[in-house]
Structure 1
Amino acid sequence: MSQAALLQGVRHCVERYLRRFETSGWNRYADFAYSDIRAELLTEQQLSALRTAMLVEDHIPGYAKAYHRLFELDPGLPDVELDTRRAMLHFVFKWTSDEDRHAHTLENYLRATGRIDDADLSKEMRIATGKRYDAPHEDPMQMAVYTVIQEKATQVFYSCLRDAVEEPVLKQVLDALSKDEARHCGFFADLLRTYMAEPGTHDFAKVKEAVQAFKMPLYGTLDDYKRRSINMMRAAPGYHYRDAFVLIRQALGRFADARTDSRSQSLQDLLEALDVRIVRPAAGQRAIA
């Protein structure tokens, strides 16, 4: 895809998203009756899973910094590249604002339950946010792949946890978060299709690399990540991050019938790699990512 065509594609994705969702949303203070929380309905496992989700969301300063660096407006870049990056930033600023709202809402909820030590939670948040976050890729297309998977996995987790909990206020919170994540995921899926739109110019090998290397945010960074990840799956029956790979498979499915160029084998390799990641490990052998 030429840079000019990519610019138009990015602008279209951003405009379509903001036209639909610029004013949609909810208020982290006014829309949830924190005083009505029935904390006795929450299990320790659910509270622990919610706490982990909050810590991951609360690392938004690190995530935002990575994306701002990815789309840095370096005056030495060609004009069309600068215009493309500036267009992307219109979405990035809205997206990171949503994610910050998620973190703050989960924090507010946890504190309002009365079952979390406030000082201990604050200390844990400071430790977590003090750890450096490095983006898994420097290539924008690979980051689009990564973020489609990550946003979908997060949406599935919130949906499954919402269905599992009995506490009414938390159900409302998780429903709001899940809908936001679904919207974000849709944008990144559209963006990925934009990158892949021109036959012969996309790099399936790069997409495959991003798929095979995928790990959820803060994997290897958050203390006791493996234990926390297992607990999240147990607290939200039906959740597994691997379900997110189905969306990438669907996004690329229409390219599967166009295997006439020299990259056709790379596409086949990619689709096979996705099929491997979609299949869940046998019980007792779950991979953690």
Structure 2
Amino acid sequence: MSEKSTPERIVTPRPIAGAELIPAGDVGAAVDGFFAASPAARGWDVETAFDWARADAGRLTEGQRSAVQFITYIEDHLPGYFDVYHRYFPVDDTVDAETFVHNRELYHFTVRWAAEEDTHARALARYQEAAGMADRATLRTDLAVEGRKPFDLPYRHPVQFFAYALVQEKATQMYYQQLRDVVADPVLGEVLTRLSRDEARHFTFMADVVSRYLRVHGDAVVEPIREVIEGFRMPLADTMRGYWRWALRIADVAEYDHTAAYAHLVKVVDRAVDVRSDKLDELVRFIEGCRALD
């Protein structure tokens, strides 16, 4: 990654409906699979999962502390991320009954996903406080600077929201694992382990949904997925001041390259269809080329 300007994203939000969606039964099956693989009994909470009294930022390098601050900002923007799904997949009378049923099935996942991502934000903020990196009142105020900024995705086809999240969740999981492997504070290591496991499950759900889009719609979703990769940027890259410089710093701490997650999208394409069409072959070549160029 390098310091660079990013084009403004202008999006007019509208609910997504119609033939571009997959059947509600497919969404329901993906949701059922997610919940079966991650029952509530395996969940964790900020208050009891860690021995906060042992947290010690003095065991971290300056770069590692910076990385913790960076990912706290990213995770804390959860209200903006959740709002995207609410606006594009609403569960109200702005959509017809068939679309509502589809969106209601998806909502079962998004509320659970949002709760888990919000727990990530709370855990990272709690670590900063317990480890002596920041006091709670100051941190709240600092996070509000970015948290108040809007978040949106420039997409029109439903598969794009899941393809984007597939890459984003996998890239986040990989970074948390790599950061965990270099930090000396075991409490932070435990936090990052919990976060990376959750991100892995979220990735699996997104991969399942993208696979179902490929099986149902085939070549019709090739161009929408290509558009996601062509313009991909991680969350807040367009809004956070100094994002690219900060991203470069955290890449020096633990290997960070979101394009490494593209290989996992290629695997999803390979597994979703028995025989790839010419368009799917071209999509795979394009994705692999983007990885090689970055």
- TM-score normalised according to structure 1 size: 0.89
Instruction: Choose from 244, 247, 253 the match for 2:261.
Output: 244
**2:289 equivalent to 1:272:** no
1:208-227, aligned counterparts within 5 Å? Answer: 208-227=226-245
Equivalent AA in structure 2 for residue 28 of structure 1:
V
Distance in structure 2 (CA, Å) of the matches to 1:241 and 1:280: 13
Equivalent AA in structure 2 for residue 33 of structure 1:
D
1:107-122, aligned counterparts within 5 Å? Answer: 107-122=125-140
Paired residue secondary structure (1:196): helix
Question: What residue in structure 2 maps to residue 43 of structure 1?
Answer: 61
Distance in structure 2 (CA, Å) of the matches to 1:152 and 1:207: 16
> Are the equivalent residues in 1 in contact too, given 2:56–2:130 (CA < 8 A)?
no
> Are the equivalent residues in 1 in contact too, given 2:23–2:102 (CA < 8 A)?
yes
> Are the equivalent residues in 2 in contact too, given 1:151–1:185 (CA < 8 A)?
yes
Distance in structure 2 (CA, Å) of the matches to 1:201 and 1:80: 24
**2:147 equivalent to 1:137:** no
Instruction: Choose from 175, 184, 207 the match for 2:193.
Output: 175
Equivalent AA in structure 2 for residue 166 of structure 1:
A
Paired residue secondary structure (2:267): helix
- How many aligned residue pairs are there? 276
Cα displacement (A) at 1:31:
1.1
Distance in structure 2 (CA, Å) of the matches to 1:161 and 1:52: 12
> Are the equivalent residues in 1 in contact too, given 2:219–2:279 (CA < 8 A)?
no
Question: What residue in structure 2 maps to residue 285 of structure 1?
Answer: none
Question: What residue in structure 2 maps to residue 126 of structure 1?
Answer: 144
Question: What residue in structure 1 maps to residue 175 of structure 2?
Answer: 157
Gaps of 5+ in 1: 282-289
Cα displacement (A) at 1:135:
2.2
Cα displacement (A) at 1:254:
3.9
What's the RMSD between the two structures over aligned residues? 2.1
**2:22 equivalent to 1:26:** no
Cα displacement (A) at 1:268:
2.6
Cα displacement (A) at 1:2:
6.7
Paired residue secondary structure (1:198): helix
Equivalent AA in structure 1 for residue 43 of structure 2:
G
Question: What residue in structure 1 maps to residue 96 of structure 2?
Answer: 78
Distance in structure 1 (CA, Å) of the matches to 2:180 and 2:293: 22
Equivalent AA in structure 1 for residue 105 of structure 2:
A
CA separation of 1:269/1:4 partners in 2, compared to 1, >3 Å: closer, same or farther? closer
> Are the equivalent residues in 1 in contact too, given 2:215–2:272 (CA < 8 A)?
no
Distance in structure 1 (CA, Å) of the matches to 2:79 and 2:58: 33
Distance in structure 1 (CA, Å) of the matches to 2:237 and 2:181: 25
> Are the equivalent residues in 2 in contact too, given 1:95–1:184 (CA < 8 A)?
yes
Paired residue secondary structure (1:188): helix
Paired residue secondary structure (1:223): coil
Question: What residue in structure 2 maps to residue 195 of structure 1?
Answer: 213
Cα displacement (A) at 1:256:
7.1
Equivalent AA in structure 2 for residue 172 of structure 1:
E
- TM-score normalised according to structure 2 size: 0.88
Instruction: Could you list the structure 1 runs, at least 4 aligned residues long, displaced by more than 6 angstroms after superposition.
Output: 1-5
> Are the equivalent residues in 1 in contact too, given 2:171–2:258 (CA < 8 A)?
yes
CA separation of 1:3/1:46 partners in 2, compared to 1, >3 Å: closer, same or farther? closer
Paired residue secondary structure (1:30): coil
Cα displacement (A) at 1:117:
5.0
> Are the equivalent residues in 2 in contact too, given 1:58–1:103 (CA < 8 A)?
yes
CA separation of 1:37/1:280 partners in 2, compared to 1, >3 Å: closer, same or farther? farther
CA separation of 1:240/1:79 partners in 2, compared to 1, >3 Å: closer, same or farther? same
Distance in structure 1 (CA, Å) of the matches to 2:284 and 2:228: 13
Instruction: Choose from 247, 253, 258 the match for 1:235.
Output: 253
Question: What residue in structure 1 maps to residue 32 of structure 2?
Answer: 15
